[in-house]
Amino acid sequence: MKQINENVARYLDADCSCLMLLDNEAKQLAMVATHGVDDDTMKNTCIKLGEGIAGQVAKTETPLLLQDISEDTRLKLQLCDNRLRSVLSVPLKVGGKLIGVLNVGSITPKKFTKDDLRRLSALAGEAAVAIHNAQLFTQLQEVHLDAIRALITAIEAKDPYTRGHSEQVTRYTLAIAEKLNLSKAEKELLKTAGLLHDIGKICINEEILLKRGKLNSEEWEAIKAHPGVGARILASGTALRKAIPLILYHHEHYDGGGYPVGLKGDSIPLGSRILAVADAFEAMIADRPYREALGMRKL
């Protein structure tokens, strides 16, 4: 949204601009991106429908051109500052539904023309679609995270000793990723994989998960199967598939002695190697049914 707003300001050679989105419940507009506006004004400005220039445009859903505000006292100025003389304000609509208002202003009177208003209205149509798509993507991400939290809760309900384990592993994983200067996309993928790395344990019998003594060979095989089970669970949905390799191989060892495949060295995905370190570290400093936490001094 910030990029859209700045591009509009440059395109129309405006001294300031602001993109405002509609809060349907509160029936008011809030600034979400600005150019030439101080941060305090952006944070503290909310305009009710019908109030001021932007509020009037939002209420009527009609573009507005004020070539010289000093000569037109119909509307109270609530855009940038008192120096403004020329203003354009257009509604942002998607599918006939108002989502916000786009404003530009100049300290020069008669700076903008009707042609500028037409150009801004055209830009507003494209901007509204882009903003709407971004909002939908954010909503999908929230649904995605809610689904992940539900899966984590299901895992931890079976094993109270690992409650909070996934979040801690994710925290350490992202700390490592930060040190390695990984990209934002790589960090997001690691976050998903960290939260869900033990999802396969949902299919392991609680007696095995909570056993205080040494596991027998059959029980150990059940434990070793959980990365593959997790991969199969996640394969049923498209949103989480990119995390599958990281989860599937997070118990592989650099020397080839891990499971489920026995990969070694760089053949193990980097994300899986990061998860393995974070997972092992968290397991060592936390209580388990078969031993107390080792503590930092024992590592």
Q: Is residue 167 part of a domain?
A: yes
Domain boundary among 136, 151, 185: 136
Q: Kindly tell me the burial class for residue 287, based on how many C-beta atoms sit within 10 Å of its own C-beta (0-12, 13-18, 19 or more).
A: exposed
Helix axis angle for 184-196 and 270-284, nearest 10°, is 50
Q: What CA–CA distance (Å, rounded) separates 120 from 118?
A: 6
Same domain, 225 and 105: no
**Residues pairing with 34 in the sheet:** 18
Domain's final residue, options 88, 103, 136: 136
Tens of pLDDT along the chain (299 residues) come to 777 878 788 888 888 888 899 988 888 898 888 887 766 665 667 888 888 888 889 999 999 998 888 776 555 555 455 678 889 999 999 988 999 999 998 888 888 999 999 999 998 888 888 888 887 767 766 766 677 777 777 777 766 656 678 889 999 999 999 999 999 999 999 998 998 898 888 888 878 877 778 888 899 998 899 999 889 888 866 667 889 999 999 999 999 999 999 999 999 999 999 999 999 998 888 766 666 777 665 54
Tokens of 259: 């499971």
Regarding whether 285 and 163 lie in a shared domain, the answer is yes
Active site residue 201: yes
Task: Report the CATH number that the domain containing residue 170 is assigned in CATH.
Answer: 1.10.3210.10
Angle between helices 2-11 and 114-158 (to 10 degrees): 170
152 in a structural domain = no
Provide the b/e sequence for 207-237 (b: ≥16 CB within 10 Å).
Answer: ebbeeeeeeeeebeebbebbbebbbebbeee
Tokens, residue 221: 């095989």
Q: Which of 27, 43, 97, 201 is catalytic?
A: 201
83 is a domain residue: yes
Domain identity same for 55 and 183: no
The tally of domains found in the chain comes to: 2
Question: Is 234 a domain residue?
Answer: yes
> Does 222 lie in the same domain as 116?
no
247, 169 Cβ separation under 8 angstroms? no
Token pair recorded at residue 173: 């994983």
How far lies 274's CA from each of 107, 158, 186, 278, in Å? Answer: 54, 25, 12, 6
Same domain, 193 and 260: yes
Indicate if 204 and 116 belong to the same structural domain: no
Asked if residue 78 and residue 166 are part of one domain, the reply reads no
Residue at which a domain ends, from 136, 151, 168: 136
Cα–Cα distances in angstroms (integers) from residue 194 to residues 122, 179, 266, 268, 299, in the given order? 44, 17, 20, 16, 22
Q: What is the dihedral of CA 217, 219, 220, 225, to 10 degrees?
A: 130
Beta strands in 209-282, from DSSP E residues, in sequence order: none
Residue 192's domain comprises 159-298
Q: Is residue 142 part of a domain?
A: no
How many helices and strands, by DSSP H and E, does the chain display?
11, 6
Tokens at 263, concatenated: 């990969």
At 100, which CATH number?
Answer: 3.30.450.40
Do 178 and 285 lie in one domain? The reply is yes
Q: Are residue 293 and residue 211 in the same domain, yes or no?
A: yes
Secondary structure of residue 82 in the 3-state scheme:
coil
Residues near 272 by beta carbon (within 8 Å), at least 6 away in sequence:
245, 246, 247, 248, 249, 250, 252
Residue 125 included in any domain? yes
Q: By 3-state DSSP, what share of the chain in percent is helix, strand and coil, each rounded to 5? A: 55, 15, 30
Q: Is residue 204 situated within a structural domain?
A: yes
| Same domain membership, residue 167 and residue 291 | yes
Same domain, 238 and 287: yes
Instruction: State how far the Cα of 117 lies from the Cα of 97, in Å rounded to an integer.
Output: 20
Do 252 and 126 lie in a common domain? no
